Structure 1
Amino acid sequence: MHTTDKKVAEGKLTPDDIMTGSTSAAIMGHNPFMTANDCLQTAMDAVSGKPRKELTFEALHWGTQFEVDIIKEACKRLQVDDYQTKFARGFTADDAPMAVSLDATAKGNDQVLNSDYENNIVCYSNNIKLSGRGIIEAKLTSHDSELELPMYRGRVQLQMAMEIMNCDWGVVAVLHRGIKLVLHVFQRDKELIEDIKVAAIDFDRRVQKYKQNEEIEWYDFTTPKSAAKVFDEATDDTVDLSDMENDIQTIQETRQDMKDLQELHDVTTARVMARMGDAKYAKAGKYNVTWGEINYKAKPETVVPAKEARTIRVNKLKVKENV
């Protein structure tokens, strides 16, 4: 038995000005493709009334198309039933400013699961009992299958959903390259859930500060790219960074160290290559060395489409020492 008349995913049903399932991993620093400041910017845009930028890319399209099919197959393999994939709304926690859109819930039959790698079932604790309703998250990826599910591929999101819906078990069903479905089965992780709530409260504090007086409290910047993305337009102002002189010195010294190391790496690599000559393989004590080839297929000539003029902030500082 199931309750759905849905052929594709419902999409995002949660507000943009609080932490959601889709932004939780990034806000907690677990997403290599999105930063906490990206999420904060989206929240501030929502507060300012700016329309949400619709995401359109190939992987998202097919993930939407196949979501229900992934859920159906996951339920079949787990022997759970009464699955539901239509909700028409998001769900919000009672004790923290966070919300989730659900892919599916399903009813367990008190079966006890342990990892079954031959059937692509990975359990993250022993003897997981599928009792009552649980959460199922569907994912599609071009990555090869993995035994350890990354935090950003639904792991944090699932725990949020389990907490909000008061479920004791959940599954992230990942279809890899369209040919291999791996079911990652979890129990409720109280420690991770507490960390999620702390992150949600802190995120909301920053959003509320912006709502009250448009004050922005960015998260710490950890890469030049993330800083350049936020501060993307330069003015002619000069700021006093006297208290950061040591940081500027570190930039200079490490930049020279990197240059020296790169030169050492290149010279040493060239020396080894010269000794190898035409040979593809070499042995040097405890090391096996391969100097391989890359084959490129012929491609027809292409015309690069025109681009509008634009200005972007560079990811590197230019430093000159005062004389």
Structure 2
Amino acid sequence: MSGPAERPIDAVRAMLTALLGGPDASIEHRRAQAAVFAASQPPPPPGLRITPTALGGVPAETVEVEDGAGPHHVLHLHGGGYVMGDPAASRGFTTALALATRARVVSLDYRLAPAHPFPAAVDDALAAYAGLLDDGVPASRLALAGESAGGGLVVAALLAIRDAGLPRPACAVAMSPWTDLACTGASYETRAGCDPLLTRHVLLEMADQYLAGQDPGAPLASPGEADLAGLPPLLVQVGDDEVLLDDALTLARRAGDAGVRVELEVWPGMIHVWQMFAGALPEADAAIARIAAFLSETRTP
């Protein structure tokens, strides 16, 4: 008698486990395997154009539909624990988002630790946002989006934008955000047995490289603990099977308490940044469709 059919998310879990060798894989191994993963990805879907660019002196790439992107822009901030990652590694998400929204998705190649510790990533995100404004993109047609550390960086960038007195973007999306670099949430323990990608130990190693001795409680380092008043509407997506669950829950709660319009989505059975597997995972396609709807609801036509 045959057993139950394997679900798509089970195949993704198995692939990630084989790639990394387990959630406790070292940062060095993760960097090497991330490069292998990025190189193995298929070419962009037909109808998309990917162009190197720069914003505020920070390198980036623009992902857009070839037959005429709309007037909206998404500034994307990739994940990787502030110590790895680049726009190419996040194309599973950025290409799907460009197709779903017809926006120009500009994925930032911000500086990484340990060569460039905190707050270099925040400084680059702020410079890129200001660069988009200088290029004539209205803030009302601008959104920020990011996954994992990039999700936390989205919130830190929003705080920096607010504190710099720049016009705020229309909205922002934080996927599986890492917003507490001290890693104090209960889900670091309660989800430790089901997260195939991350452990508290690995995240603390990444935080140590990024912070270089600085305070993990600094608002721009751990923005989930910051004063979030005045931020634009925020969509937070997180999988119920990831150790960063409590980071997302705390971020959403504190944003709501500060008067921010926030929508929190906890996806049952989903793992860290499952949105990257668009086309292979139905829940990734559904999550991106939800992001596209949120962007449409909150931006100026």
- In the superposition, the TM-score normalised over structure 1's length comes to 0.23
Greater percentage in helix: 2
Greater RCO between the two (CA within 8 Å, min separation 6)? 2
Give the greater-gyration-radius structure (CA): 1
- In the superposition, the TM-score normalised over structure 2's length comes to 0.24
